[in-house]
A and B are shown apart, each in its own frame.
Chain A
Amino acid sequence: MGSIGISVVRREAKDKVEGRLKYLNDYSSPDLLYGAIKTSTFAHARIKSIDISEAIKMPGVRAVLTGKDLPYRFGIYLGDKPPLAIDKVRYFGEPVAAVVADSQREADDAVEAIKVEYEPLEVINSPTEALAESAVLIHEEMDQYAHIDAIKPEPGTNIANRTKIRKGDIKEGFEKSDVIIEETFSFPPSDHVAMETRAAVAEILGDGRIVIHSTTQAPFVVKNLMGAYFGVDPGKVTVISHAIGGGYGGKAGMQLEGLVYLLSKAVEGRKVKLVNTRDQDMITSPGHIGLEAKIRLGATKEGELMAAEILFMFDSGAYADYAVNISRAAAIGCTGPYRIPNVWCDSLCVYTNHPFATAYRGFGHIELAFVIERAMDILADKLHMDPVELRLKNAIAKGDTTPTQSVMDSNTGDLKACIRRTAEMIGWNEGTRIIAEDGKIRAKGFGCLWKAPAMPTNTDAGAIITFNEDGSINVHCGVVEIGQGIKTAFAQIAAEKFGIDVDQVHVIMDVNTSTSPHDWATAASRGLMMGGRAILSACEDAIAQIKHTAAQVLKCPEEDLHVWGGRVFVKDEEHIGLPVKDVALGYVYPDGNAIGGQVIGRGKYISRRLTGIDPDTGKGNPALEWTLGAEAVEVEVDPKDCSYRILKAACTMDVGKLINPTMARGQIMGGMAMALSFSKQEGFEFNDRGQVLNRDLRSYKTLRIGDAPEYLVDFVETPQGDGPYGARGLGEQGVIGIPGALANALSRALGVPYNHLPLTPESLWKKRRDNG
């Protein structure tokens, strides 16, 4: 049969092309009330007064709330964020008041009528400013914030978390280095720009049960946090997620759900819907983290890396949200996929008056890789060594240790094979800088990637398998479909296990926390690996039950039976057997007697042997699996005005085992496109008052079809021993090496080091001119 390694068409394909698939905002009902929020026009200011007297009197208005009404502090790791600002605002676009009304228009009108008076405070516009001795504090009450142990806030400063890595002896490492480079890097905060903006609907039923529909990647996290924030019994909270119009990390954690629940509560539990406008989705809701970084990298004259000293200063924006864990993940992977014996890293999550940051595809790794991959090229230059050769020489492999001193085990992918294949695809040896007749320069740049999921040590997944009368299977799993095709991959995994056609496997698309088995979250690219394992174990459980019943009918030991192709049969006498459908809902003898009952396969998986990290040295084993790969970019630059086109983008990734080649390629190309867009042209632009100037899609530019390069994608398959059929995560990884690769290509093309994103033609031109 064989369902693995085949490009099965997506489950929901037809509904998608007919416009019939419903996203949350496509549902409406006459009993809905509508929410709207008033946002701050200042980036940092005291709230002197909020006048809601007019708004509350307006037609259709059911409730108007301000921060004073809602004494809560939200935060997935660090409770620092009130649902509506209390006393002061900390970023431009922060919610200060909310309205519930009979219609969206009435709610919007009432928001207009709310008057807020501010007293401006000094605005902190970068991590460097935030870390200055004299900097004002963005969170004066940090010492009172609840937080989990792994996060180390530093009250009295603007530091929300600091993660330390101390491996080997950094001093000795530099002493042994013949060549040392030192550089700084940066990029501003930016946005996910999922095409569907975030939305949530909440309702409190008569018996106190809370039902939330949300565009969430993490319904179980929402459920859990609802319990934690509001003291409600988790069993009374149901979170349902439907089809989602893109997430990329931005729909993980708690988004609008907490606030919309409070709005519902303010109107006696009636159903309230809250939908972000595009500008709210960009600046009021969290986006992609910003970064300032410094690195010293040392190597022997043969190019063997000896020491890395890295300071990450992440721009978390006004609140911590996922940023405190992103900065931690960046520390854990700070060296990139290279063997470096001596490492010193401080990774700081720093508050500023920018829109706050949450998870974003690559979670700490796209950020760290930009720094490392640029540094590798700068080092290669100084060593007069080919950058690909330098990477090959230091590529991490089985037996090497990571920055947290854990040993790369026998599941380690083959980075060298990835590097070689990518170099081949991009034509590295045919020249990395060519000047064409028209004066344009074609240049290539390289960047490697690695990523481990950043997640709790007890991250889990569950699956339930039930059967239909015809023997077909229903798979129930709590992982959310956000376009990554996970449900289809799950169907393939189950079909493979039962030796049946994928069409015989039905996957439940929506996730409902009351009926779906528990699942951590659709994040960290762990869905396939962990959900896949849970499904395999559910299949095994179901198969055992099928055998148990069939053994009685066939009068043979269970161990002699095999389930395959819709039948259960004796292994060595295949003609003796039964159709699965005759057993799956209980076997019925000709005389009417029934035995066995229905088969319900239960499967689960929990991450194995993970630990936290030591607060002083970072020592520990926090990584479930490392996905490795190599990427490259080819550009064509006009050296006069520095405008450029991206001609090619290449990626080779060691995915362990390909489950669905088309979808895997799709994920990787999509990741590369997103990262090209990010590094070429994205990023918030702030004025000195901390206001975001480009908060619509007219001024914030994402890649379009005409900008898309030719994609070259290939795979290496070194099995992940503990992955389903040897597979490991690949959903986010395509983004990681690209910013470095693009910056390397442009630096090579124009002969000037480009260390700051986005790489707009003007920024290239200016730096080139300033460098003479």
Chain B
Amino acid sequence: MKSYKGYTQLVLRINGQMRKAVVSPNDTLLYVLREKLGLTGAKPGCENGDCGACTVLMDGKPVKSCIILAVEAEGHEITTIEGLKDTPIQRAFVEESAFQCGYCTPGFIMNAHAMLNTVPDADDHTIKEWLSSNICRCTGYEEIKRAVAKAQKIAGGV
């Protein structure tokens, strides 16, 4: 049985690398990523599980890192926005101007990326179901929808 009391060293697998950090059981994954590992791409928006700005992938599935303890991430593969480079969804976000201030963007991209990996041919219903987990306050969401459609095309080689 694993157990943690007080500050201890934790080894996490993040973006394909082993990363070490001294954490306390009450540290959230978001906090450790940002403050201990310098991965500030995941953003705090509400720290309450509501906005999705802190979304990262855990074993390929999107999760809200503000309501996960860092100790829970042990043994799982974590992917943050820093781990994505030139993916179809990132290219599509640029081409479709799917952001304004950009604060929600890493969260949206992580979620959409996971969706496209899981359900490449996601239809409107699925896109709505997945992406309703994130809030964007700047755009009217139209450009984000278009970016997802474009990423599907890019990934499909069209």
State if A and B touch, Cβ cutoff 8 Å.
yes
Chain A contacts to B: CB under 8 angstroms: 7, 9-10, 12-23, 25-26, 28, 192-197, 243-248, 277-278, 482-485, 649, 662-663, 666-667, 669-670, 672-674, 696-698, 702-706, 708, 711
CB–CB B46/A708 < 8 A: no
CB–CB B132/A194 < 8 A: no
CB–CB B105/A670 < 8 A: no
Q: Which 10 A-B pairs have the closest CB atoms?
A: A19-B41, A483-B101, A245-B103, A19-B81, A483-B100, A669-B140, A16-B102, A673-B140, A697-B50, A26-B40
CB–CB B93/A17 < 8 A: yes
- In the complex where A195-B51, A483-B100 touch, is A17 in contact with B105 (Cβ < 8 A)? yes
Chain A contacts for B129, CB-based, 8 A:
706
Q: Identify A697's interface contact among B35, B51, B85, B136, CB under 8 A.
A: B51
CB–CB A18/B101 < 8 A: no
CB–CB A196/B101 < 8 A: yes
CB–CB B94/A13 < 8 A: yes
CB–CB A23/B84 < 8 A: no
CB–CB B137/A246 < 8 A: yes
Chain A contacts for B82, CB-based, 8 A:
18-20
> Interface readout for B76-101 with A: 1 if CB under 8 Å, 0 if not?
00001110110000100111010111
Select the residue from A194, A248, A696, A704 with max chain B CB neighbours within 10 A: A704
Chain B contacts to A: CB under 8 angstroms: 34-35, 40-51, 53, 80-82, 84-85, 90, 93-95, 97, 99-106, 109, 127-129, 131-132, 134-145
Smallest CB separation, B104 vs chain A (Å): 5
CB–CB A23/B142 < 8 A: no
Contacts beyond the supplied A16-B93, A192-B137, A195-B137: 4 A-B pairs with Cβ under 8 Å = A196-B101, A246-B138, A670-B139, A673-B140
Chain A contacts for B132, CB-based, 8 A:
704-706
CB–CB A278/B90 < 8 A: no
SS class, residues of chain A in contact with chain B: loop
CB–CB B102/A12 < 8 A: yes
Chain A contacts for B45, CB-based, 8 A:
195-197, 278, 697
Q: Identify B105's interface contact among A16, A705, A706, CB under 8 A.
A: A16
Chain B contacts for A667, CB-based, 8 A:
100
Smallest CB separation, A105 vs chain B (Å): 9
CB–CB A23/B43 < 8 A: yes
CB–CB A246/B103 < 8 A: yes
Smallest CB separation, A676 vs chain B (Å): 8
CB–CB A702/B140 < 8 A: no
Complex Cα–Cα for A576 and B128 (A)? 60
Smallest CB separation, B74 vs chain A (Å): 22
Chain B contacts for A277, CB-based, 8 A:
47
Chain A contacts for B140, CB-based, 8 A:
649, 666, 669-670, 672-673, 708, 711
Chain B contacts for A706, CB-based, 8 A:
128-129, 132
Chain A contacts for B44, CB-based, 8 A:
25, 197
CB–CB A195/B136 < 8 A: yes
Select the residue from B49, B90, B142 with max chain A CB neighbours within 10 A: B142
* Number of A-B residue pairs having CB atoms within 8 Å of each other in the complex: 156
Query: In this complex, what residue of B is CB-closest to A14?
Result: B94
Complex Cα–Cα for A483 and B137 (A)? 11
Chain B contacts for A703, CB-based, 8 A:
141
CB–CB A705/B141 < 8 A: yes
- In the complex where A696-B48, A697-B46 touch, is A193 in contact with B137 (Cβ < 8 A)? yes
- Supply 19 A–B pairs (Cβ within 8 Å), ascending by A: A9-B97, A13-B97, A16-B93, A19-B105, A20-B82, A195-B51, A195-B101, A196-B45, A243-B102, A245-B103, A248-B137, A278-B47, A482-B101, A483-B99, A662-B97, A696-B50, A697-B135, A708-B140, A711-B140
Complex Cα–Cα for A261 and B141 (A)? 38
Complex Cα–Cα for A20 and B139 (A)? 20
Complex Cα–Cα for A243 and B80 (A)? 20
CB–CB B100/A484 < 8 A: yes
Chain B contacts for A195, CB-based, 8 A:
43, 45, 51, 53, 101, 103-104, 135-138
Complex Cα–Cα for A706 and B131 (A)? 8
CB–CB A18/B90 < 8 A: yes
- In the complex where A23-B43, A195-B43 touch, is A18 in contact with B85 (Cβ < 8 A)? yes
Complex Cα–Cα for A22 and B106 (A)? 12
CB–CB A28/B137 < 8 A: no
Complex Cα–Cα for A663 and B81 (A)? 24
Query: In this complex, what residue of B is CB-closest to A699?
Result: B50
CB–CB B141/A673 < 8 A: yes
Query: In this complex, what residue of B is CB-closest to A649?
Result: B140
Query: In this complex, what residue of B is CB-closest to A702?
Result: B135
Complex Cα–Cα for A696 and B105 (A)? 21
Query: In this complex, what residue of A is CB-closest to B49?
Result: A698
Chain A contacts for B139, CB-based, 8 A:
666, 669-670, 673
Chain B contacts for A483, CB-based, 8 A:
99-102, 138
CB–CB A705/B145 < 8 A: yes
Chain A contacts for B48, CB-based, 8 A:
278, 696-698
CB–CB A7/B97 < 8 A: yes
Select the residue from B46, B50, B81, B95 with max chain A CB neighbours within 10 A: B46
Chain A contacts for B103, CB-based, 8 A:
23, 194-196, 245-246
Complex Cα–Cα for A246 and B136 (A)? 10
- In the complex where A243-B102, A674-B137 touch, is A711 in contact with B40 (Cβ < 8 A)? no
Chain B contacts for A711, CB-based, 8 A:
140, 142
Complex Cα–Cα for A666 and B35 (A)? 33
Chain A contacts for B53, CB-based, 8 A:
195
Q: Identify B137's interface contact among A15, A194, A662, A708, CB under 8 A.
A: A194
CB–CB A670/B144 < 8 A: no
Smallest CB separation, B106 vs chain A (Å): 4
Smallest CB separation, A255 vs chain B (Å): 16
Query: In this complex, what residue of B is CB-closest to A278?
Result: B46
CB–CB B137/A17 < 8 A: no
Chain B contacts for A21, CB-based, 8 A:
102
Complex Cα–Cα for A193 and B47 (A)? 14
Chain B contacts for A666, CB-based, 8 A:
97, 100, 139-140, 143
Chain A contacts for B100, CB-based, 8 A:
246, 483-485, 666-667, 670
